[in-house]
Structure 1
């Protein structure tokens, strides 16, 4: 009963055989029972079901965890981003009513800087999250290797014990728990050999454990994107990049988040930054500034390489002096406002961003809706698989686990049997004593 709450514990039962009877005269007297062997209460098919469902559960919970964090990043900063975009274009609207106002010009710069800061912050936090996920990929590779080596050690112990090792409940419990832990990280296939050891392969057929031999995985940085790739290596020296072959488990989810999901939202923010800078600069550069200069961009130029969302900022000229803000297309008028109005209208006009015609505020709202939907679906899927796992584990525990009720029932049964035997002996002792006294 002490192991009732021990994870992975496999219950043991003693198999009793009738002991050799004793022939006394014409009587054949039984001598009770003897403990023949101790067996593990173990159903390998239920254990396989637990491992399979654990694989799906860990994948789903990993998605749930990181989608929730992405949602937090986008929702917390997205509110301020949406507000800052609206404030920026409203500032241009105010400037259009008084193009010579220093206060209005300063407000355009301030709101522009706030908007740029929001974009850079969101992009930076998403990039940091991607880096964190990449580090977790490497950590999980190390964890996989630790489990593989532990399985090889268990195999070694089983082989050394011979036939007894095949039925050793402690070793079986270690083996099944290690396989469950491994299945939570990655999809595997495995089978037991004739000696009770386990052979483990990836779902794609790459051998990981065979007897006491292990083909470890390695995490190697890619020169292309500086992210970890998962490399399988064999004893013969062959190595294969299996990064894109994982079909389940937390490792598959981490790789997908790092390579697809997080970059998708980074691209979304970058597309927004590029569109804002392009549209505003296209209008601004055609106008004349307060000091009579034309061809000035309001935002810094968009580089040919790299993501603009990481560096978006006010141009050096405008940052130096608000006199470099262009409000008119006329070189002869400082009070005309057609450029300021054109930029202000960008806040309410539909703009083509990533192939869709949409306003900037609707675009940021769509980002929030997208991650909200992904996060909700991930949460529901995680709960679904957790419930399934609990059901399968309950079935497994009904065979392998310790039932307090059952053990208490057995304890009472054995106690009652002991008491009955004690009463029988006491009665026999009394009869024997009485007979002895009668002949004295």
Structure 2
């Protein structure tokens, strides 16, 4: 009877534990990262009765956590990559919207400005037309500044995202290390729910940093970044620290402190949300801001050059129409010398938006790309007479740089935020060609005034009156000097201007060239200004300003689409990994319902065994009482 009672009670307890486990599974069907559990039953050791062994029922051998490390690792890696792709896609889409939307983009105000410049050609002396040019110029520079400020705001968001992410990684890492300590201290009696809790924390950490986790023999999980740096090893966690960029104090960067060492982390070192932030900054934000600045500088420089070649309504030569910021040069924080570099744009057609690191070795300078480290051609010695020249930028060295000193040249980054309109008086718009030509009325040849152009607006004698007299059809003098050879159809060049004649002049024919003067309605320079948007001023004279704007918008849009496609593709891979994990570790309600019914019936049967044992015992007592 005792054996029957013991067998029944043991079975009752075992099936009660099984029902509790099934209930636990059902209760956590919606718990993220939960791994279903299963009671493993085994027979008790039998009793030797002399004639043989008699079984003693059932016992709970283990409550097993159903998990597959390979499936978990695949899900972990997919989750980290998905977090990176989604972060990059979301931020890139914001930049794309900023440039492509008519309300915030550059195309509309750009067209308005050049339309106004073109409109000035129809009435170059009109105050209203001139006011329109200034108004649209101010609107254009304001849009440049607005776009640059928005990109600066995104850069600040990246900084804030890196700071907050580093704090979360450190908090999660410390918790994982603590759980590792608990698990390894008693590896044979570990709570399944504790293992799930650790897995959830590891998943969260990898969502920030990318990478994977590797299980040790003692049960601890070591977590590594996408670049292979250890974040958690056993019960020790490394710490992500935030520091300022040595070239740009306004920008933060991350480093990993562990075992007394500090490892600087670059874009390839981290995945997850942090990797997405860093990829966005290096692959989308920085190039967009630099190219926007290059377009702003290109517009301002080309427009200023042409504007200086014209004459305003006051009879004065044109000045700079736009104010243009100089390229930025930042010292490295560890520089020991007193050297400085002063930069200016020397050749607009060679101007490159790419950041360059300049290094002094004690006797000579070298230049490399800031992103790849590839060498960049560099000429000059750094003096005012022979400046350093790299990618169209001229640099003059001041002070005394020390060996090993480094400088970061940002040719156009942020330039869009500093461009402005340099004049506020509409009369100062140089719409006229500064010189004009006139033929004498008594000329007998067929020579007529063709076009007059300024070839050197800085020439000291540009506005000095010049009298041209032809000795015959092939020779002429200027203010009595000469004679100079003349070929029909070829321009006459002097004093920074060029005069073309139609027809054939005769001996004695005279032409005069002089200042256009104040109040002129001449539109020669206005025509040139209005056509500058199509002038091939960039990329060695192969790309127009209009083309550069279209290229910037297309590049940003393409980057956003590619990031979006990558996020969608990674979502599919993640869903597949999640399904594979859930097929092993997930809770199946139908299966749990069947188990509950099965264990419920077994529990009832075990209870009946106990009832039978009680009946037997009562029968025995009754027999003894007789």
1:67-116 per-position Cα deviation (integer Å, ceiling 9, x unaligned): 11111111125765212112111112221111121111111111111111
Tell me which residue corresponds to 2:192. Answer: 169
Could you tell me whether the CA contact under 8 Å between 2:325 and 2:418 is conserved in 1?
Answer: no
Query: How many correspondences in the alignment?
Result: 431
1:301 and 1:39, CA in 2 relative to 1: closer, same or farther beyond 3 A?
closer
The TM-score with structure 2 as length reference comes to 0.64
- Structure 2 CA distance for aligned equivalents of residues 365 and 359 of structure 1: 10
Tell me if the contact between 1:163 and 1:195 (Cα under 8 Å) persists in the aligned partners.
Answer: no
**More relative contact order, 1 or 2 (CA 8 Å, 6+ apart):** 1
**Aligned residue in 2 for 1:81:** 106
Pick from 219, 228, 242 the counterpart of residue 252 of structure 2. Answer: 228
**C-alpha deviations, 1:187-238, integer Å up to 9, x for none?**
3354222221123334545333222222212111123112222212233x32
Equivalent residues in 2 for 1:80-159, closer than 5 Å: 80-159=105-184
Structure having the higher helix fraction is: 1
Q: Does the CA contact (< 8 Å) of 1:271 and 1:354 recur in 2?
A: no
For residues 78 and 263 of structure 1, the distance between their equivalents in structure 2, rounded to whole angstroms, comes to 22
Structure with more of its chain in strand, by fraction: 2
2:72 aligns with: 47
Q: Deviation at 1:344?
A: 0.9
Give the counterpart of 1:408 among 570, 593, 615. Answer: 593
* Structure 2 unaligned spans of 5+: 1-25, 329-412, 435-515
Q: What are the within-5 Å matches in structure 2 for residues 372-411 of structure 1?
A: 372-411=557-596
CA distance in 2 between partners of 1:244 and 1:273 (Å): 29
Aligned to 2:18: none
Indicate the SS of the match to 1:70.
helix
RMSD (Å) for aligned C-alpha atoms: 2.9
Paired with 2:597 and 2:416, the residues of 1 have a C-alpha distance of 72
**2 CA distance for matches of 1:159 and 1:419?**
39
Distance in 2 (alpha carbons) for counterparts of 1:215 and 1:30: 54
The 1:15/1:420 distance shift into structure 2, 3 A limit, reads closer
Distance in 2 between the 1:206 and 1:433 partners?
71
Aligned-partner Cα distance in 2 for 1:80–1:141: 34
**Greater C-alpha Rg:** 2
Q: How does 1:2-401 map to 2 (within 5 A)?
A: 2-21=27-46, 29-76=54-101, 80-165=105-190, 168-226=191-249, 227-235=251-259, 237-246=260-269, 248-305=271-328, 307-315=414-422, 318-319=423-424, 321-330=425-434, 331-332=516-517, 334-347=520-533, 349-355=534-540, 357-401=542-586
TM-score by length of 1: 0.89
Unaligned runs of 5+ in 1: none
Q: 1:187 to 1:431 in 2, by over 3 A?
A: closer
* Contact residue 229 and residue 269 of structure 2 kept, 8 A: no
In the aligned structure 2, how far is the partner of 1:223 from the partner of 1:128?
Answer: 21
2:245 and 2:83 map into 1 onto residues whose CA distance is: 26
Structure 1: distance between partners of 2:296 and 2:618:
104
Deviations for 1:44-76, whole angstroms, at most 9, x for unmatched residues? 111111111112211111111111111111112
Decide whether the 8 Å contact of 1:94 with 1:104 is kept in 2. yes
How far apart, CA to CA, are the structure 1 residues paired with 2:248 and 2:185? 47
Q: Please, which moves more after superposition, 221-230 or 46-55?
A: 221-230
Distance 2:524 2:44 in 1: 107
